[in-house]
Amino acid sequence: MIIYFIIALGAAWLLQSIFGFLQIRHFNRTFAAYRRMGRVAVGRKTGLFRAGTVVLFVIDKRNKILKASKMQGVTVFSRIKPLKGFEGKYLLKIGQAELVRHDRLTRLAIEDALKTFDIITKGGDVPQKKTRLQKLMSFQIKKRGEL
């Protein structure tokens, strides 16, 4: 009986891996097509038990948004979809009036795209966010140091 459970678990893992690969391939192809159109500002907000969101803004040399898209979801079936209301606007002039029409995770991803774009245009490096494992490990090290 346990062997069937192990086989089912392995099959589920294999399917998840295949669908994850297909999702990443779709994202990479879309990103490459967007790069051919102009510069791309990317923002993301990840969630542990909720939908993660990635936003993409294709912009011209004057920072005018040519195309806006987002990918949001908790599964490997999430695909890039149009993000309405941003085309023709200037990236750096996006304000609360435009953000209020979107859900919280999309707003946070858009704010991340604006922040990242600002850092890059000023010649800086975007700091890497720590993974949950890195945060846990640094917490454990700090905890040991206090003892």
Tens place of pLDDT per residue across the chain (147 aa) = 899 999 999 999 999 999 989 999 999 999 999 999 999 999 998 877 777 899 999 999 999 999 999 998 888 778 899 998 899 899 888 888 888 888 888 899 999 999 988 888 878 777 777 776 777 777 666 666 554
Q: 138 is written with which tokens?
A: 């640094």
Does 135 reside within a domain? no
Question: 63: how many CB neighbours lie within 10 A of its CB?
Answer: 17
Does 78 reside within a domain? yes
Does 99 reside within a domain? yes
Does 136 reside within a domain? no
Query: In Å, what is the CA distance from 67 to each residue of 16, 30, 31, 85?
Result: 30, 12, 12, 10
Does 140 reside within a domain? no
At 121, which CATH number? Answer: 3.90.1010
Does 133 reside within a domain? no
Does 138 reside within a domain? no
Query: Residues near 94 by Cβ (< 8 Å), separated by ≥ 6?
Result: 86, 110, 114
Q: Which domain holds residue 42?
A: 2-127
Domain total of the chain? 1
Give a three-class secondary structure readout of 17-43: HHHHHHHHHHHHHHHHHHHHHCEEEEE
Give this prediction's pTM: 0.78
